[in-house]
Amino acid sequence: MRTRPLKVALLGCGVVGSEVARIMTTHADDLAQRIGAPLELAGVAVRRPSKVRDGIDPSLVTTDATALVKRGDIDVVVEVIGGIEPARSLITTAFEHGASVVSANKALLAQDGAALHAVAEEHGRDLYYEAAVAGAIPLIRPLRESLAGDKVNRVLGIVNGTTNFILDKMDSTGAGYQEALDEATALGYAEADPTADVEGFDAAAKAAILAGIAFHTRVRLDDVYREGMAEVTSADFASAKNMGCTIKLLAICERAQDGGSVTARVHPAMIPLSHPLASVRGAYNAVFVESDAAGQLMFYGPGAGGSPTASAVLGDLVAVCRNRLNGTTGPGESAYAALTVSPMGDVVTRYHISLDVADKPGVLAQVATVFAEHGVSIDTVRQHGRQDGDGEASLVVVTHRASDASLTGTVEALRKLDTVRGVASIMRVEGE
């Protein structure tokens, strides 16, 4: 084993960064044996240097992250500060000064992953980011290495623990959205501003990364259709239960049947209770992968938190350090397929539509005619009058598979009917 240590610079020392530093210290001997050389924490860049950080030598702490990554003697930079800037500039500078990079920055990788991979390749360095998608769950490496000889057709997953906790609470207790969100905040699962989670921004970034790797195609964040979950109601869960389903916020990446295009989307969806993802509870994540040869695979575990995310970071760090010692690099970007990324309007799936209609004869026939005129086939219909006798009824229509564009046209036409008082909810049905 080489005695001269490999030097690691840590950018960020919050929940994840501090845990990375702790594991590097407490597991130092094991890590050295696995790598073939000891690791040395050479510097820690932070915004607030006065904060006490247990287990970290204060002399290593600096506010000058740029100077740290420019030192020239750094072997690996671990970036866990998040955001676009200064993370992007710091990672680029690290490559230019000879360091490889391990990152957990999903937003940056979803937006500028191709450019960062290009700089890494130009300088012969690694860019690893297992922690960017699903915390401790090994997912990136299986997709780009273990399944490298296979053809992945679909990636369907729960990739945000906050949203899964909220929806699971609504499903299991009958709580409303706001009540479940308040509990998630109190327990520390949701941030003070939960927008990135509940509006699907976090999951959309992860979907872009997963789609790019799975389909060997550049998929940017802007390519991902995104729909939040704030409009999901207790009534939606009641309808889902009537269908033998539950509701999850899903990241879905699919290859078209003709193989010439892909789609990536994030939205709430009903999913059959028989599907493995339906049983994922609390703040856990799970990703279901479908491929030609391997068939159906499911990856499950904690998708966030200091220790789980640090586990993924350390796994990448070991791999990158091994490459460093061997004078090699691991897999870079694979975008040779260059498939077209289709818009949401082309996506074909089933739909659950709940309508408020006039409670009188002929309404169902009018509604069915609108669906037929737009080429949307109906699977089932359920209608029941209101107990308050206000002359209105609820009509629930479940379609066969239809494109998003045709369903949109159908709903627009339904709103013009005098007998349709309103569209209570529209939800996709996935996972069949």
Residues 304 and 190 sit within 8 Å (Cβ to Cβ) = no
Q: What is the 3-state secondary structure (H, E, C) of 133-163?
A: HHCCCCCHHHHHHHCCCCCEEEEEEECCHHH
- Look up tokens 């609820």; give the residue: 394
Residues ≥6 apart with Cβ < 8 Å to 57: none
Element holding 369 (H helix, E strand):
helix 363-373
Eight-state DSSP code of residue 5: P
252 strand-pairing partners: 156, 265
For residue 7, the tally of other CB atoms under 10 A from its CB is 17
Beta bridge partners of 14: none
**54 DSSP assignment:** T
CA distances from 86 to 81, 206, 276, 305 (A): 9, 20, 40, 23
> CA–CA separation, 224 vs 203, rounded Å?
10
Asked if 246 contacts 269 with a C-beta cutoff of 8 angstroms, the reply is: no
Place of tokens 């030598």: 57
Give the separation between CA 223 and CA 211, rounded to whole angstroms: 10
Nearest Cα residue to 42 out of 91, 79, 12, 77: 77
Q: State how far the Cα of 189 lies from the Cα of 168, in Å rounded to an integer.
A: 13
Say what angle helices 404-415 and 363-373 make with each other, to 10 degrees.
140
- Check if 206 is active-site: yes
Instruction: Supply the angle between the helices 306-326 and 15-26 in degrees, to the nearest 10.
Output: 60
- What is the greatest pairwise CA distance in the chain? 85
Catalytic residue among 106, 169, 206, 248: 206
Structure tokens at 115: 């450019």
Instruction: Provide the token pair at 77.
Output: 């930079």
Task: Provide the edge-to-edge strand list for the sheet that holds 127-128.
Answer: 61-62, 39-45, 6-11, 76-79, 100-103, 127-128
What residues act catalytically? Answer: 206
